[in-house]
Structure 1
Amino acid sequence: MITFMRVDDRIIHGQIVTRWSKEFPCDGIVAVNDKAATTPVLAKSFKASTDKKVFVWTHEHWLEKCQTVKDSKKNYFLITKNPIDMKQILVDDGFVPNDVKTLIIGPCNDRPGATKLGNNQSITQEEADALEAISQKGYTVEFALVRETSIGTWDKFRSKFGY
């Protein structure tokens, strides 16, 4: 089952392994990102970052396996690299992740064309559109590198993007 959802431009790293997995039950991590899944060195590095079971899947592979993950008695994190990929899963594909109704937005690097919301949390208009769609689907979107440094929910920032 899915116990935690996160968008993180680094996908899997120390904060996921050492912090979030202690706050939420976690037997394994499912990362959905086409580039990481098809780049062997990336997939291997993510798997080496933890002793937990790690799956790095393309979106297509996720579609084949998502019901198995949802129905599992084991607890999994669902992570994507960007809000657009998470929107594809939660909104476009209509995946409903057990009882999880909060999506945590972690690091999103400063980039040209991105609006800075907080420390290492910047999003583009296209990403904002994805977050708005996720929010409209009934999910709470919270910006937090780690729990105690949350800068707020999507409702606090949505007006910066015309919503």
Structure 2
Amino acid sequence: MSISVVRIDDRVIHGQTMTRWTKARPVDGILVVGDNIAHDKLRRKVLKAAANDLKVGIYTVAEAGDKIKKGIESKKKFFLISDSPKTFAQMADMGIDFGKVLNVGPMNTRPGTKVLGRTVAIDQDDYNAFEDIAKHGIDIQFQLLPDDEIKPWSTMKKKYDSMS
């Protein structure tokens, strides 16, 4: 498989992505999926600029299946990223194969969220999306940086449930 990391990060492409993750898991290009991102011309420009010399493709969920399949079949290595677990839940429900591990990075505080840890805050919609993703047999791993300890969805779920 030529997808070296599949990740949720609410900032998508930024300094840590470029200096830490692309060094820990070498990549030749970045595939960004998200309807909100794909339809935002300014955000598209900012993300492409943040990627420095890496090629960036930004796609809607509807376009993702074909683009991810081409990425997997390619000899190049790709970083697949979105800003929301809902996007990955949609793709899993559509039968799009993006691998068996989903890495979760920053999901910063927003209205209506519960803070589960350093830079991780989720709401009920995020929770439902993670549950859906897990039902597809995908291992959800919360990890801010490549050297950080991985926390599984089961741990984060228990914490969320205890706050209800």
2-structure distance, mates of 1:25, 1:149? 18
Structure-1 residue corresponding to 2:140: 141
Give the superposition deviation at 1:110.
0.8
Match runs of 1:1-163 below 5 Å: 1-49=2-50, 50-89=52-91, 91-97=92-98, 100-150=99-149, 152-162=151-161
Q: Which amino acid aligns with 1:75?
A: K
2-structure distance, mates of 1:153, 1:44? 33
Normalized against structure 2, the TM-score is what?
Answer: 0.89
2-structure distance, mates of 1:42, 1:113? 24
Give the CA RMSD over aligned residues.
1.8
Assess if the C-alpha contact under 8 Å between 2:65 and 2:96 holds in 1: no
Give the superposition deviation at 1:161.
4.5
2-structure distance, mates of 1:62, 1:120? 27
Residues 68-96 of structure 1, C-alpha deviations (whole Å, 9 max, x = no match):
1221111101101100001111x211122
Tell me the secondary structure at the aligned position of residue 13 of structure 2. Answer: coil
Structure 1: tracts of 5 or more residues without a match: none
Identity %: 37
State which drifts further: 24-33 or 146-155: 146-155
Aligned length: 160
Tell me the secondary structure at the aligned position of residue 150 of structure 1. Answer: coil
Tell me the secondary structure at the aligned position of residue 112 of structure 1. Answer: coil
Normalized against structure 1, the TM-score is what?
Answer: 0.89
Assess if the C-alpha contact under 8 Å between 1:142 and 1:150 holds in 2: no
Assess if the C-alpha contact under 8 Å between 2:116 and 2:159 holds in 1: no
Residues 2-27 of structure 1, C-alpha deviations (whole Å, 9 max, x = no match):
11100011111111111111111310
2-structure distance, mates of 1:29, 1:131? 23
Tell me the secondary structure at the aligned position of residue 126 of structure 2. Answer: helix
